[in-house]
Amino acid sequence: MSGRPRIAVIGSGIGGLTLAASLARSGTPCEVFEQARSMAEIGAGVQLAPNAARHLERLGLGPALREHGVAVEEMRVYGWGGELITWTPFGSACEQLYRAPYYAVHRAHLQKALLDLVGSRPLRLGHRLRSVSRDEDEMVLAFEDGTICRADVVVGADGIHSVVRESLVRDAPVFSGLGVFRGLVPVERLPAAAGEPLIRMWLGPGRHFVCYPVAGGRLMSFAAIAPLADGGAESWSATGDPAELAAAFEGWHGLVADVTHHADTVRRWTLYDRPELPAWSADRLTVLGDAAHPMLPFMAQGANQAVEDAVELASLLAGAHRADVPELLAAYEQTRAPRTAAIQRGSRAFSETMHLADGPRQRERDRLMRLAAGPTGLRERAWLYGHEAGSRRGARQDREGVS
C-alpha cells in the first residue's frame, strides 16, 4: 500500500482548522467535515499562550492576531475583596523567553482567521457524523444525511461529545459541579482601566471571575465560574440570566461589579470533564483537542493544547504514505498523551485551590502565590509555554525549560 493517505478531519473548531492549515502548509491535502451548515460567529474570548501563539504566527496568523487580538502585558490576580495577590508579566518578557506574545482574542476572530487560511475547498459543511467503522484498510464515515465517505486517516476534532472518541472508548462527560457565565461588554461602557491590555482574575469562595479585552481592545470578554446545582447541556449558545450572574458575584470588588452590571447578554453552560483516554488511536483513527482531553478552564490551556495536538499530528502526517499511518498515529499518541494528561490533572486541581473559602488555607495559598509574583512566575511556566510541538526537542524542553 503506497501513496498519500486520504485524511478526514471531523470538526472545524480551532483544533481541526489548525490541523488543516498545518497540513496545507506542507502540501498535504485533507477534507474537513463540519456538522454546521454555516460558520457562525460564536463564543467569547480565548487566551492564546506562547506555546500556541508561536505556531499560529508561523502559519501566517500574526497580522490577524495583532489586528483583532490584544497582546497581553500582564496578568493580575486579586482576592474577591480587591486586594492584589500576585502578578505575572507577559509583553516583551514573554516574547524574549518564549518567542511569542500572550494574546487575548475573540474566538470568532481566531476561527475566521484560520478559515481564511484554510480556504473553502477542504470544507464539507452540513456533515454530521453518525458513525465511523473499518473496512479492511480503509475507514468508512457515515453521515446523518446518508453520505458515505472513505479515508485512510480519520481525526476526531469534534469536541467533548465526540463521535470519533466513541470508537475508542465508551465513556461519558463528567459533570464538574460548576457552570460558567460568558459574555462580552463594550469597553466604552466600563471604567477607563478596562481598556488596559491585562488579564484580571478575582478568586473567592467557590467561584472566580476573569476578564480581558479582545477585538482589538474594543470588547471586554469575561468568564465567571460558579457552582451549579444540576448538570445541563454543554452548549456555546445556551443563554444565561444577567441577574443570576450579578447575584453570584454580589459584593465583589474591582471591575467585577462593573462588568456584571453592564452584561446585557450572557451565555451560560455546564462545565464537563472526561477521564483520561486509555488510548488515543486505533489503527487509522485518532482524536485531538477536547475529543482527546477535555480540560476544565483553570489553566486556560484548552485551545492551546488543541493547537499543539494539531501541529504535532501534521508534522507526522506531512509527506506520509498510507502504509505508515498506524505507526505515525501511535507516535502522535506517545508524544502528546503524557503532556495533556498532566495539564488535565493540573486543571482539575486548580478547581479546588482557586475556590478556597476565606481562612487559613486561602491565606497560605495567597502567600505562596505572592512568592511567585513577577518574572519568577513567568520563568516557572517554561514547561508549559516553552514546549515546542512538532519537534523531537519537545520532551526535553518540558524537563529543562527554554534558554
Categorize the per-residue pLDDT at 393 as very low, low, confident or very high, splitting at 50, 70 and 90.
very low
**Closest by CA position to 204, among listed 256, 161, 146:** 256
Q: Cα(161)–Cα(134) distance, rounded to whole angstroms?
A: 21
Q: What angle do CA 104, 106, 108 make, to 5 degrees?
A: 145
Res 280: pLDDT? 94
266 phi/psi in degrees, rounded to 5:
-130, 135
pLDDT at residue 1 greater than cutoff 70: no
| Domain ranges for the chain | 7-71+103-172+275-352
Q: In 10 A of CB 177, how many CB atoms?
A: 14
Res 273: pLDDT? 85
Q: Which residues are catalytic?
A: 212
370 phi/psi in degrees, rounded to 5:
-65, -35
pLDDT at residue 65 greater than cutoff 70: yes
Categorize the per-residue pLDDT at 354 as very low, low, confident or very high, splitting at 50, 70 and 90.
very high
Res 237: pLDDT? 60
CATH of the domain spanning 7-71+103-172+275-352, picked from 3.30.420.10, 2.60.40.420, 3.50.50.60, 3.40.50.720 = 3.50.50.60
pLDDT at residue 399 greater than cutoff 50: no
Quote the percentage of the chain above a pLDDT of 70: 94
Categorize the per-residue pLDDT at 52 as very low, low, confident or very high, splitting at 50, 70 and 90.
very high
Burial class (CB in 10 A: 0-12, 13-18, 19+), 96: exposed
Tell me what the mean pLDDT of segment 296-302 comes to: 94
Tell me what the mean pLDDT of segment 263-285 comes to: 90
Res 235: pLDDT? 57
pLDDT at residue 168 greater than cutoff 70: yes
Between 143 and 392, the higher pLDDT residue? 143
Tell me what the mean pLDDT of segment 332-341 comes to: 96
Cell output for 176: 464538574
Mean pLDDT of all residues belonging to the chain: 92
CB 156 within 8 A of CB 11: yes
pLDDT at residue 394 greater than cutoff 80: no
Burial class (CB in 10 A: 0-12, 13-18, 19+), 110: buried
Q: Cα(296)–Cα(176) distance, rounded to whole angstroms?
A: 8
Per-residue pLDDT of 366-375, as tens digits, reads 999 999 999 9
pLDDT at residue 232 greater than cutoff 80: no
Q: Identify residue 344 by its one-letter amino acid code.
A: Q
Per-residue pLDDT of 66-118, as tens digits, reads 999 999 999 999 999 999 999 999 999 999 999 999 999 999 999 999 999 99
**Closest by CA position to 21, among listed 115, 91, 109, 110:** 115
The predicted model scores a pTM of 0.93
CB 133 within 8 A of CB 165: no
Reduced to 3 states (helix: H, G, I; strand: E, B; else coil), residue 137 is coil
